[in-house]
Amino acid sequence: MDVEVRLFATLRRGRFDRRPQPVADGCRLEELIRQLAIDPKEIAIRLVNGREAEIDHVLQPGDVVSLFPAVGGG
Amino acid sequence: MHGYRGQVLRVNLTTGQIKKETLDLQTAQKFIGGRGLGSYLLSKEIQPTVDALSPENKIFIVTGPLTGSPAPTPGRYMVVTKSPLTGTIACSNSGGFWGPELKNAGYDLIVLEGRAPKPMYLFIKDETVELRDATKYWGKLVSETTTQLLADVREPQARVLCIGPAGEKQSLIAAVMNDKCRAAGRSGVGGVMGSKNLKAIVVRGTGKVALAAPEKTKELLAILARKIKDNGVTGQGLPTYGTAVLVNIINEAGMYPTRNFQQSYFPTANKASGEALADEYLTKRVACFRCPIACGRECEVGEEKGEGPEYETLWAYSANCGVDKLDDVIRANNLCNEYGLDTISAGATIACAMELAEKGYIKPSEVNGPALKFGSSEAIIEWTRKMGAGEGLGAKLAQGSYRLAASYGVPELSMSVKKQELPAYDPRGAKGMALQYATSNRGGCHVRGYLISPEVLGLPEKIDRFATAGKATWAKAFQDLTAVIDSLGLCLFTSFALNADDYRDLLNAIVGVNWTKEEMFTAGERIWNLERVFNLAAGIKPEEDTLPKRLLHDPITEGGSKGHVAQLAEMLPAYYQERGWTPQGIPTKEKLAALAL
Ligand code: SF4
């Protein structure tokens, strides 16, 4: 199955902004992050379809996964 | 005296009299300084019911005891006055270099009273203080005023605070500007300065702030510098992308207000984001006085060079007006800086006008300029200029969205609280932020208690943004700590990396007090209650602790916060209780006595 991955801020460096990503059925968020070769420590905010998700969240086909490093502003 | 400089400059613009008074140290410490001290003095010296644009209103331009000190980000001063936009107490805060220069000149604050018979500016060089004719600067844009004044006073190292044409015309959303591009933006404080016929304050100071415990301060600064550097937000996110790094996260979470809060997700947000700004327009990072973070952006678009846009500005002119062309958003931001307009209220008022036009309230025949259509770059630029210059319908827009929408009989289309435009977070997607917006003492505002930090950014810890339970406690703690940070004279962004103990340690080492953390929080609570009491006396009713109907009743239709409304009714009673107020939202006698008010 495919999910859409969106990366932001410093996570984009040397990677991509957004792309479809094939993953195995029942893939968990942490497995996807490993597959993308991102150090989980670099990620501060994980959203699946715009909602905060735990690392053991099981992905569904077509899910939009948005990953952010630590960000702030205001 | 340590931290403070010990002098108050009192200027009566009606008579031209200038007086130097001694700072009452005990009072200053009780209210810390900055916002707290300004709020105390305003409450003491004016009737809360005065017309904000009358000579009876006063302006207190106040620094904190840490302004100009070696503490990290000590660039802040605050403009405290009664707001003509909201009718509440106003405290607008700005960075840059002007505040520290005032401290170096030997003053903790300036009190401005009355109304000058003709345009004047105030010149300060250490002990020399003069009111001078400003007729030749009246009508000039902010950068030109600044450049000319600096040349005319022959003090190249002086710093200039001024208003633009919007302030001169007493726009209710006019800002006080300093160092050209920094703004004490909100609540129409620039309009109050305009009503006093005061164009500018030029200051040059050659003294410095004394420290109570220099060795201790030095040790502490080394620890805090490391904390700021090692923190992901202050060490990496803000320096690299500026505040606009928030565009994508807030949008992905489905709480990025779009087209005057009609939607909460802007599909092309990425085209006008912090990442796009850094990739395509950023020419230089800019820092305020002694700031190790440097979140400021110098951006170039065509021939124009300017600072910003900040996240809130970027949102107000892009998603909220449906525009995704970043260069035009940058141009609109530059115009706000030149005319001296609050970028949040200016962009949000144009967005409101666009909805009023979309729904047929504003007739095409009234529109003496580009059509007020969502998505129109031409509209955001030209209507900003018209607002700044007070031309035609632009003059009406310059009174803010509430008065505009109310004039068509639909005040509910103004996305404001207490008549001040809401900033860039849809509170339907962060329940604590809804409570904070509703209870902010200066109306629609995000920096009175930035609950986006725990609710969305996970700092200092992640809490469920859709939960209502416990949010009253969070709101109170954030509001009280923010009052402290503002009053100290530090930038709020340090709070991503520093905690309450750090602020207390800085205060103790620099001012020479021996406060506990609890005493410091009590001072914050004292300031919050003082502001609330002023607002009640000014005739602001607790029923105004609310949000626009759209946010209370219409669920978000798509994206990460779909299905949610702002559940204020569930949180407000808990908040009043947390504050020790009556169920009607009035501070009790016991509470005020406990806070020594
Ligand atoms: S973090 Fe940004 S706003 Fe705050 S003091 Fe530094 S440059 Fe100024």
pLDDT in tens, B388-441: 999 999 999 999 999 999 999 999 999 999 999 999 999 999 999 999 999 999
Q: Specify the CATH class of A2-69 in words.
A: alpha beta
Task: For B67-110, write each residue's pLDDT tens digit.
Answer: 999 999 999 999 999 999 999 999 999 999 999 999 999 999 99
Residue B22 has pLDDT above 90, yes or no: yes
Please report the pLDDT score of residue A73 as a whole number: 85
CB atoms within 10 A of CB A26: 10
Contact A6 B450 (CB under 8 A): no
Domain coordinates in residue numbering, chain B: 7-204, 243-421, 427-496+516-594
Please report the pLDDT score of residue B445 as a whole number: 97
Per-residue tokens: B450: 């930035």
Q: Which ligand 1 atom is nearest residue B96's CA?
A: 8
Average pLDDT in the B275-288 region?
94
Domain B7-204 grouped into CATH 3.60.9.10: yes
Task: For B299-315, write each residue's pLDDT tens digit.
Answer: 999 989 999 999 999 99
Please report the pLDDT score of residue B222 as a whole number: 98
Task: For B133-167, write each residue's pLDDT tens digit.
Answer: 999 999 999 999 999 999 999 999 999 999 999 99
Residue B579 has pLDDT above 90, yes or no: yes
Q: How far apart are CA B400 and CA B171, in angstroms?
A: 8
- In angstroms, what separates the C-alpha of B511 from chain A's closest C-alpha? 29
- H or E element, residue B550: helix B549-553
Domain coordinates in residue numbering, chain A: 2-69
**How many Å lie between the centroid of ligand 1 and the Cα of residue A68?**
22
Contact A72 B252 (CB under 8 A): no
**How would CATH label the architecture of B243-421?**
Orthogonal Bundle (1.10)
Please report the pLDDT score of residue B455 as a whole number: 98
Sign of CA dihedral B258, B262, B265, B268: negative
Instruction: Label residue B489 by pLDDT band (50, 70, 90).
Output: very high
CATH code for the domain defined by B427-496+516-594: 1.10.599.10
E strand spans, B497-594:
none
Contact A33, A39 (CB under 8 A): no
Task: For B201-219, write each residue's pLDDT tens digit.
Answer: 999 999 999 999 999 999 9
Per-residue tokens: A39: 């150090």
Please report the pLDDT score of residue B132 as a whole number: 98
DSSP code per residue over B149-214? HHHHHT-TT-EEEE--HHHHTT-TTBPEEETTTEEE-GGGHHHHHHHTTEEEEEEE-------S-H
Interface of B with A (CB under 8 A): 231-234, 236-238, 240-246, 248-249, 252-254, 265, 270, 274-275, 295, 310-312, 446-447, 450, 452-453, 456-459, 462, 465, 492-493, 496, 559-562
- What is residue B301's DSSP assignment? E
**How many Å lie between the centroid of ligand 1 and the Cα of residue B366?**
41
Contact B352, B405 (CB under 8 A): yes
Chain B residues close to A50, C-beta within 8 Å: 252-254, 265, 559-562
Phi–psi pair at B144, nearest 5 degrees = -65, -45
User: Which residues, in sequence order, are CB contacts of A3 under 8 Å at separation 6+?
Assistant: A20, A21, A23, A27, A32, A59, A60, A61, A62, A63, A64, A65
Residue A74 has pLDDT above 90, yes or no: no
Phi–psi pair at B256, nearest 5 degrees = -105, 100
Q: Residue B301's beta-bridge partner residues?
A: B304
Average pLDDT in the B461-471 region?
97
